[in-house]
Structure 1
Amino acid sequence: MATFAEITRHHDPDPDENPWVHGPPAPAPVRIEPYDPDWPRRYRNLAAGIRTALGPAALDLEHVGSTSVAGLAAKDVIDVDLTVADPRAEHTYVPPLERLGYVLAIREPSFHEHRCLTLAEPRVNLHVYGPDCPEAIRHRLFRDWLRTHPDDRERYREAKLAAVPGGGTVMDYNARKQQTIRDIYDRLFRAAGML
């Protein structure tokens, strides 16, 4: 069971670790779309395919990220957290997902053994973690907080829009909105009695 200290710690990957399985993506403009009420249906269809492909190897699936929060503008990319018994055992989940068109893009041993597979159409980031991973717990807490706290949902929307100018990669965009994300985490952790 992850402790409050593990969940509330802002854990960053090792900066010397190269996470890119096939090299980093080319810089591309980030586009924020108005909330699309079709995103939850798209997630359900994707989740059904993943569950069928992986069977009991898929311990849990969660729709996370901005597309999982009704009313929140987002990149048109569905973020999914997949829990498997051991992310290092790629042979247990990568080949079945590759047959669905997913590509293993990121391998981050220093960041909770995180793996990320991408799908080009529809666009998906499939994040793979082990059981009781603090980062996956954080994703669910953040999603649920934004669903029930419209002020922070609006604050996050504004931060996303402000982070788009400047170009670069999605990682650059993410870095520009990081302080707002951490401020929201601080509020939700304090409200939950975790800090």
Structure 2
Amino acid sequence: MSTGLLYTALVKEIVIHPYNPLWPAQFASLGSALRATLGPHALAIHHIGSTSVPGLDAKDVLDVQLTVTRLDVPIRVPLENLGFIYRETVVRDHCPPGQTIRPDDLEKRYYFRPEPRVHLHVRQDGRYNQRYALLCRDYLRANPMARDAYAEIKRQLAGYFPADQAAYYAIKDPVFDTLMAGAFIWAEATNWSVPSTDA
């Protein structure tokens, strides 16, 4: 189950908000709490997703990536103490069409917090999905044209499918994959590497 499809079960309507300059501060506060709670279990804590890209319109939901050495590290109880809810049905990320990726490179654990809304993606260090989330973020931060195109895609889809989240994600995910094909070219041209932790 993709995070997008899970989101459909948690909200009735997708609303795309103008970029909120408070999102980085909200992440900073959450990142500090996660760092204090998880200690050495958290190899890295990154602000990812649309709210991590300055100027990008987004749903008012923070996406956070927690990088761990193994997916079975004992973090469930500490995260639940911070108000997070574990979703056992979300076990892997979407595989971009046309790519052959090992199943374990897409595996993850997923938690969410209802208020304020947070999606917490737990991924293993060095896996494809752990790197991809950060590459997407950094590419959109560095390329305003791609950022603005992605924002327009989301606004248009939310307008066409205000009450049909399944249709929204069914179109958005492959379109995003097409857009992000340029990220791999950009990464090679700029010698991109995984950035240090945000928290």
TM-score (norm. length: structure 2): 0.78
Give the unaligned 5+ runs of structure 1: 1-12
- 1:77 maps to a residue whose letter is V
> How big is each residue's C-alpha offset from its partner over 1:80-118, in whole Å with a ceiling of 9 and x where there is no partner?
0001121134xx001000001000024316563311100
Question: Per residue, is there more helix in 1 or in 2?
Answer: 2
Would the aligned equivalents of 2:57 and 2:151 in 1 still touch at CA under 8 Å? Answer: yes
Indicate the residue corresponding to 1:151 in structure 2.
Answer: 145
Cα distance in structure 2, aligned partners of 1:137 and 1:127: 12
Kindly indicate whether residue 59 of structure 2 is the aligned counterpart of residue 94 of structure 1: no
Query: Within the alignment, does 1:163 sit opposite 2:145 as a pair?
Result: no
User: 1:88, 1:113 within 8 Å by CA — same for their partners in 2?
Assistant: no
Q: Match of 1:41? A: 25
The CA distance in 1 between the partners of 2:41 and 2:173, in whole Å, is 32
Quick check: 1:141 aligned with 2:125?
no
What RMSD, in angstroms, separates the aligned Cα atoms of the two structures? 2.3
Partners of 2:120 and 2:71 in 1: CA distance: 12
Where structure 2 has 5 or more consecutive residues not aligned to the other structure, the ranges are 93-102, 190-199
Instruction: Answer whether contact 2:135 2:187 (CA < 8 A) is retained.
Output: no
Retained in 1: the 8 A contact 2:17–2:60? yes
CA contact (8 A) 1:103 1:117 kept: yes
Number of equivalences: 172
Cα deviation for residue 27 of structure 1 reads 5.7
1:76 shift after superposition: 0.3
Q: Which residue of 1 aligns with 2:183?
A: 188
The one-letter amino acid of 2:9's match is P
Hey, what's the Cα distance between the residues in 1 that align with 2:128 and 2:119?
18
Q: Distance in 2 between matches of 1:192 and 1:145?
A: 8
